[in-house]
Amino acid sequence: MTTPPEGWEARGRPPSWFRRFTFAKYAETRDFLDAVAALSEELGLHPQNINFAATHANITIEGPERQAPGAAELAFALRINALAASRVLP
Amino acid sequence: MTTPPEGWEARGRPPSWFRRFTFAKYAETRDFLDAVAALSEELGLHPQNINFAATHANITIEGPERQAPGAAELAFALRINALAASRVLP
């Protein structure tokens, strides 16, 4: 079973990975979401679900065909972390 | 109390307005979300929450300062409906 990267929590069976990202203002949230969308296009992967409001975005990642996340999803989550690193509040 | 426009459901107290939009594929969902983001910037209003996956987007609109939606939110919801009109599945 692939272990989720830093900041992500495995939930359910089969597990999906969940992380909440918090921002100072809407413009930062929006910028992050745009970057995630561009990354999704680049990788041909997208989150199973994104829930966002003015200052946060909750992202859920599933594996293919309702299986657990694997190597591709690990790479995806790490890239999302990198996108967020300069934006997320401590 | 302002009545929500077609397709929107009032929920809670004070009410927020909720509508689910369904699309044929991720690219349409993405295009819709981008249009909603541009509209938000134009109007200086944004949904309280958006929850989306590959083929749907659930949007919740609140009034200002936790009051019921009013004239500005009605105009916003109608504009969102118009953005969706050419994209939403029957």
Between CA A29 and CA A37 the distance in angstroms is 12
In this prediction, residue A21 carries a pLDDT of 96
- Residue ranges of domains in chain B, CATH in brackets: 9-85 (3.30.1360.20)
Residues 6+ apart with CB under 8 A from B31: B87
Interface of A with B (CB under 8 A): 26, 30, 37, 46-54
Determine, for residues B51 and A54 on separate chains, whether the beta-carbon distance falls below 8 Å.
Answer: no
pTM: 0.90
Determine, for residues B48 and A53 on separate chains, whether the beta-carbon distance falls below 8 Å.
Answer: yes
Q: Which residue has the tokens 């203002």?
A: A25
Instruction: Cis check for the bond before A14: say yes or no (omega within 30 of 0).
Output: yes
Q: Which residue of B has its CA nearest to A51?
A: B51
Which of A28, A29, A33, A55 is most worth mutating to test chain B (most B CB atoms within 10 A of its CB)?
A33
How does pLDDT run across A20-46, given as a tens digit for each residue?
Answer: 999 999 889 999 999 999 999 999 999
How does pLDDT run across B6-22, given as a tens digit for each residue?
Answer: 999 999 999 999 999 99
